[in-house]
Amino acid sequence: MDIPLPLLIGGAEDGGTIGRESTWLPGHREKLSLIQRTWAAAGCGAVAAPTFGGNRFRLPQRDGEEDVRGYNRILVDLTRRAVGGKVLVAGGMGPAGQELEPFGDVTFEELVTAYAEQAAALEEAGVDLFLLGEGMTMAEERAALLAVRQASSKPVVVLARCDEEGRTESGTDVLASLIVMQGMGAAAFGLSCAEGEDALLEQLQRLTPYASIPLAVVAGGDMPPLQTLAESGVKIFACGGAMSGDGATALGRALEEADFSRFVPPEHDPDVIPCASEKEARFITPDVDVGETIECTPDLMEEILEAEELCPQGALKIAILEEDDVAVFAENQYAIRDALCLWSDVPELLEQALRVYQGRAFWDGTGDLEPEFLAEMAKKYGLVLL
């Protein structure tokens, strides 16, 4: 399914607070239905079910267990009945609020499992698309996108919140987030910015030259002119609590009048290849110098820092040679800021390393792995093939 563009999405806010008290939902179904009907009546082409807090880490326990399936199903059903089948229903997925190892107690695979549970519930409930809400870390975005792809082939729209410097709350440059998300198959990527319309437009225009997917904004009162946004590649507008139904209606009418055809997709220089670490956007060329290959020894952290400081060629090459290397790499990969070439001659090990790497790595063309396998890694994890 392709997302109809331009698209106005209603209810695109963190509804996790609804799920924090198990007593909230039964007594407020009519209130929720009224809110969702208001968005549909305002002309939204999609309405988000307020399931952003519907993962096992955020839901309250009932009889010792989190009712992930039931919670997500009820909210999607309520939303679908409220909008009367007239508009699309998006399944919202939001932050888990967990620190990953080595800073916390949760592994990346546990995070993927939690999101997979929610994604399966949303797919079973019949959502038309998935919406990754604001405030997620890079690891949460990646885990949620991988989880959705286990359950569904439906479109995934990713929203991020940044400051005037283009940094999320966890310190990731939103350009890095765009590079990773579109490499992994997101259908659209968007921003909100609390610093005002000038800061939002500046950050969107940083994304435009590297975006091969539609851009989105979280719409509110402090938003750049609609035509300016359209000419920057924005085609999706997500309305949350900061916008009233009347505001959404006015925006919907303005969308009908805006000339989105005036956006000219930028020409992409094939010699400028975007990669990303967990925090930083990085750009390489086809003949990039990766320096000396780094092996996953107990000194990996020191070797990463030394290579980036003393050999500033802009890229590192780390080899994954055996099973234990994956764990060593996962524990130290957060220190990487430059572009990363991951290498292994064992397909399973390369995939494990790509899975735990919270960035977008590249393959330098050496080694003897099957082209079909590398193409699969490019599709699933965004691996750049040189």
| Strand ranges inside the chain, DSSP E | 7-10, 46-49, 88-93, 129-132, 156-162, 188-193, 215-219, 234-239, 273-276, 281-284, 293-295, 315-319, 339-343, 362-363, 384-385
Instruction: State residue 240's pLDDT score.
Output: 72
Eight-state DSSP code of residue 5: S
User: Is the Cβ–Cβ distance between 184 and 215 less than 8 Å?
Assistant: no
User: Is the Cβ–Cβ distance between 277 and 336 less than 8 Å?
Assistant: yes
Neighbours of 70 (CB within 10 A): 13
- What is the length of the chain? 386
Tracing tokens 């940044």 back to the chain, one arrives at 162
Host domain of residue 379? 273-385
Neighbours of 10 (CB within 10 A): 32
| 310 lies in the same domain as 215 | no
| 251 lies in the same domain as 290 | no
User: Is the Cβ–Cβ distance between 168 and 191 less than 8 Å?
Assistant: no
CA-to-CA distance for 128 and 79, rounded, in angstroms?
12
Instruction: Report the CATH number at residue 374.
Output: 3.20.20.20
β partners of residue 318: 294, 342
SS3 300: helix
Task: Establish if 123 belongs to a structural domain.
Answer: yes
The amino acid at 344: S
For 247, the token pair is: 């505001």
Task: Establish if 359 belongs to a structural domain.
Answer: yes
Task: Establish if 352 belongs to a structural domain.
Answer: yes
Task: Establish if 163 belongs to a structural domain.
Answer: yes
User: Is the Cβ–Cβ distance between 96 and 116 less than 8 Å?
Assistant: no
| 77 lies in the same domain as 203 | yes
Q: For residue 99, which phi and psi values (nearest 5 degrees)?
A: -85, 130
Task: Establish if 364 belongs to a structural domain.
Answer: yes
| 249 lies in the same domain as 343 | no
Provide the domain count of the chain: 2
Instruction: State residue 27's pLDDT score.
Output: 59
Q: Rounded to two decimals, what is the model's pTM? A: 0.94
Task: Establish if 267 belongs to a structural domain.
Answer: no
Task: Establish if 268 belongs to a structural domain.
Answer: no
304 sits in which H/E element: helix 300-310
For 24, the token pair is: 């909230």
| 258 lies in the same domain as 278 | no
User: Is the Cβ–Cβ distance between 37 and 246 less than 8 Å?
Assistant: no
| 220 lies in the same domain as 280 | no
How far is CA 350 from each of CA 177, 306, 381, rounded to the nearest angstrom? Answer: 22, 24, 11
CA-to-CA distance for 126 and 120, rounded, in angstroms?
10
pLDDT in tens, the chain (386 residues): 789 999 999 986 544 333 344 445 545 788 888 889 989 998 999 999 999 999 999 886 554 456 899 989 999 999 999 999 889 999 999 999 999 999 999 999 999 999 999 999 999 999 999 999 999 999 999 999 999 999 999 999 999 999 999 999 999 999 999 999 999 999 999 999 988 899 999 999 999 999 999 999 998 767 899 999 999 999 999 987 667 778 888 888 888 889 999 998 888 888 999 999 999 999 999 999 998 999 999 999 999 999 998 776 789 999 999 999 999 999 999 999 999 999 999 999 999 999 999 999 999 999 899 999 999 999 999 999 99
| 284 lies in the same domain as 334 | yes
User: Is the Cβ–Cβ distance between 46 and 9 less than 8 Å?
Assistant: yes
Task: Establish if 71 belongs to a structural domain.
Answer: yes
| 27 lies in the same domain as 164 | yes
Instruction: State residue 14's pLDDT score.
Output: 45
Angle between helices 197-207 and 174-183 (to 10 degrees): 40
β partners of residue 219: 239
For 194, the token pair is: 């609390």
Instruction: Report the CATH number at residue 130.
Output: 3.20.20.330
